Structure 1
Amino acid sequence: MHRVGYVLSDSFQMMALGTQAVFEFANQLVGSEYYRVQVYAPGGGPVRSSIGTAVATEALTARTPADTWMIPGLYDPTTTPADPAVLDFLAGRAQRARRIAGLCTGGFMLAEAGLLDGRRATTHWIYADAMRERFPGVLIEPDRIFVTDGPMWTSAGMTAGLDLALGLVEKDLGSDITRALAHRLVMPHRRSGGQTQHSEMLMLAPRSDRIQDTLDYARRNLSQALGVDELAAVAHLSPRQFSRVFTAETGESPARAVEKLRLEAARTMIEQSRHSLEVVARETGFRDRRHLREVFLRGYGIPPQAVRRTARA
């Protein structure tokens, strides 16, 4: 049996507890209580979340056992101080566990306890700069869904905690169980730890169906030229009117938006496939490998080979 302990602090983010469903359904799939999940807090009793809902907890002591500790983040780690008792626990007894995971901004508490010094980590993208400034010894990777560095696991914001929990299960029970688990949870199997936190389709967020349909068309046909005339025809607008409406709704020109979609698709292929960079460039609409590298450096500040090395690691 693998014991999973959640350690709550006042103003914890409620969504972190949703990751318990990953362990619950993993137990169902294996037909036994492989995971035993318990919720703790210093002193025990009810702990109030950031939305005001109180959750019952057991008392956390120096002898409380767990194989994996899950540390939910605070709603705003820049204004809400971490519980000193939780920090003391993390800096001491918690390190006897097999793994410690900081969910969302929970990484701030791991960093404050000194557990992330010299290690790679991530957090919610909104707080990545604050984490880097506050903890210069931590190697922040703000564009990651989750990061594993030795026994320390950290996730990006909100639903990324589910991906981290799924990664924990895959480590314990293998990919076959994890695929079935992701299917049951209606999750992708799976957003890898190296996958970007941001989606260009979401960031563009057009207001009208015709522009959304045009973006969907572009995403499905990235290997094509996708000039303004072609996209305007999909939107049933003149090229001039289309460019004006598209820019007004997305904040980007059609050419710049298409480049971002190409870049996102190329990164996904590089992270999740073994296709050569020449094939990736051709399938996502770049002229050649050199053009792909130029756009990568401009968009991400690193070459595509570095992304592939990180994903494989």
Structure 2
Amino acid sequence: MPHVAMVLTPGFQFLALGAQAAFELANVVVEEPFYTLGIYSVEGGPVASSSGFAVPTEPLRDAGTVDTLLLMAGLMPPPLQEASTLAELHAAAESARRIAGLCTGAFLLAQMGLLDGRRATTHWAYARLMRDGFPGVRVEDDRIFINEGKVWTSAGLTAGLDVVVAMVEKDLGQDVARSVARRLVMHHRRTGGQSQHSEMLDLAPSSDRIQKALIHARTHLSNPLTVEELAEVAALSPRQFSRAFRAETGQSPAKAVEQLRLEAARLLLEDTRHSLEAVAREVGFIDLRRMREVFMRNYGQPPQALRRMMRTA
């Protein structure tokens, strides 16, 4: 029965605790206590969160045999830990089957030297700080999570759920992981290679009508997605829709649709073996030539070059 030990450090962010929900729900899905869970700190006792509330913890030395070690920190990267703290964390990490630094928890792994020579990620706002502070780490700041052997690192706090669902998939299979994601009401499961950047988040419309049109666009990229089509979804005239869309997003509908297609195409290039022609067709580009033009304009490289680079990584 794999034991999951979540280790808190002072100032941890409460949202990080939500990662345990995926393990709990996996137990529900398989209808047996497959995982056991525990919350620990190096010394034990109450640990104060970034919001001031404390959570009771057990001493890490009492955790017994740990299968999965999750290290959680706060909204800011943790300060350099004392040598004795790092030694105890390192001992637990060495004996665990797998370890994960969630969000800024990746800095704890870096302080222990466990990321040296490895690819790793963290919240995009602190990627440069990790790169400068730990030159031996191959920091990739545009990834949701990265799995290098037994070591996992993730981006911002919500990416911790993506990591844990991926772990559940490795342990219990795709069907269980999909069911867990559904119970968590995750809009879609994000793969490790997916960018931390979200075009939908950047657009951030304020009205439900424009939001509804954008969701329609993202889920129907193979459609022409004309202004008329999107305006109908938003229950506005084409002229009203275009004016409202630009006012709320700062972009024209056509530009926004192009960016959504670009984002979807990049994800398909990372996570599938579809031909370039099939990718272009699936995300709604007129043809491969058009997709190549958009890639060159936004990334300075053609899609095939990006695919080679990602496969090499």
Normalising by structure 1, we get a TM-score of: 0.85
1:150 aligns with 2:149: yes
Separation in 2, partners of 1:277, 1:309? 15
1:27-106 maps to which residues of 2 (within 5 A)? 27-61=27-61, 64-77=64-77, 80-84=78-82, 85-106=84-105
Which residue of structure 1 lines up, in the alignment, with residue 246 of structure 2?
Answer: 247
Q: Which amino acid aligns with 2:36?
A: R
Q: Which amino acid aligns with 2:72?
A: P
For residue 261 of structure 1, report the CA deviation from its aligned partner. Answer: 1.0
Do the aligned partners of 1:271 and 1:308 also contact (CA within 8 Å) in 2?
Answer: no
Separation in 1, partners of 2:87, 2:211? 50
Q: Which amino acid aligns with 2:93?
A: A
Which residue of structure 2 lines up, in the alignment, with residue 135 of structure 1?
Answer: 134
Separation in 2, partners of 1:224, 1:26? 36
Separation in 1, partners of 2:50, 2:136? 29
Do the aligned partners of 1:4 and 1:66 also contact (CA within 8 Å) in 2?
Answer: yes
Do the aligned partners of 2:10 and 2:73 also contact (CA within 8 Å) in 1?
Answer: no
Do the aligned partners of 1:62 and 1:89 also contact (CA within 8 Å) in 2?
Answer: no
For residue 72 of structure 1, report the CA deviation from its aligned partner. Answer: 0.8
Separation in 2, partners of 1:39, 1:232? 50
For residue 192 of structure 1, report the CA deviation from its aligned partner. Answer: 1.4
Q: Once superposed, what is the RMSD of the aligned Cα atoms?
A: 2.9
The residue matched to 2:255 in structure 1 has which SS?
Answer: helix
Q: Which amino acid aligns with 1:196?
A: S
Indicate how the Cα distance of structure 1 residues 300 and 37 shifts in structure 2: closer, same or farther if over 3 A, else same. farther
1:16 aligns with 2:21: no
For residue 70 of structure 1, report the CA deviation from its aligned partner. Answer: 0.3
Q: Which amino acid aligns with 1:37?
A: L
Indicate how the Cα distance of structure 1 residues 86 and 74 shifts in structure 2: closer, same or farther if over 3 A, else same. farther
Which residue of structure 1 lines up, in the alignment, with residue 193 of structure 2?
Answer: 194
* Partner deviation per Cα, 1:31-76 (whole Å, 9 max, x = no partner): 4332221121122110001111111111123985312110012221
Q: Which amino acid aligns with 2:237?
A: H
Separation in 1, partners of 2:98, 2:174? 19
For residue 214 of structure 1, report the CA deviation from its aligned partner. Answer: 4.0
Separation in 2, partners of 1:253, 1:87? 51
Do the aligned partners of 2:38 and 2:63 also contact (CA within 8 Å) in 1?
Answer: no
Indicate how the Cα distance of structure 1 residues 60 and 212 shifts in structure 2: closer, same or farther if over 3 A, else same. closer
- Percent same amino acid among aligned pairs? 57
Q: Which amino acid aligns with 2:81?
A: D
* Partner deviation per Cα, 1:115-169 (whole Å, 9 max, x = no partner): 1111111112222232223222222222222110011001111211111111111
1:236 aligns with 2:228: no
Indicate how the Cα distance of structure 1 residues 140 and 304 shifts in structure 2: closer, same or farther if over 3 A, else same. farther
1:181 aligns with 2:211: no
For residue 212 of structure 1, report the CA deviation from its aligned partner. Answer: 3.1
Do the aligned partners of 2:228 and 2:238 also contact (CA within 8 Å) in 1?
Answer: no
For residue 245 of structure 1, report the CA deviation from its aligned partner. Answer: 4.3
Separation in 2, partners of 1:296, 1:116? 32
For residue 104 of structure 1, report the CA deviation from its aligned partner. Answer: 1.2
Which residue of structure 2 lines up, in the alignment, with residue 299 of structure 1?
Answer: 298
1:155-166 maps to which residues of 2 (within 5 A)? 155-166=154-165
After TM superposition, the structure 1 stretch with the greater mean CA deviation from structure 2, 276-285 or 48-57, is: 276-285
After TM superposition, the structure 1 stretch with the greater mean CA deviation from structure 2, 59-68 or 96-105, is: 59-68
Indicate how the Cα distance of structure 1 residues 23 and 232 shifts in structure 2: closer, same or farther if over 3 A, else same. closer
Do the aligned partners of 2:280 and 2:291 also contact (CA within 8 Å) in 1?
Answer: yes
Which residue of structure 2 lines up, in the alignment, with residue 267 of structure 1?
Answer: 266
Do the aligned partners of 2:292 and 2:303 also contact (CA within 8 Å) in 1?
Answer: yes
For residue 105 of structure 1, report the CA deviation from its aligned partner. Answer: 1.1
Separation in 1, partners of 2:250, 2:175? 42
**Number of equivalences:** 309
Q: Which amino acid aligns with 1:14?
A: F
Do the aligned partners of 2:5 and 2:63 also contact (CA within 8 Å) in 1?
Answer: no
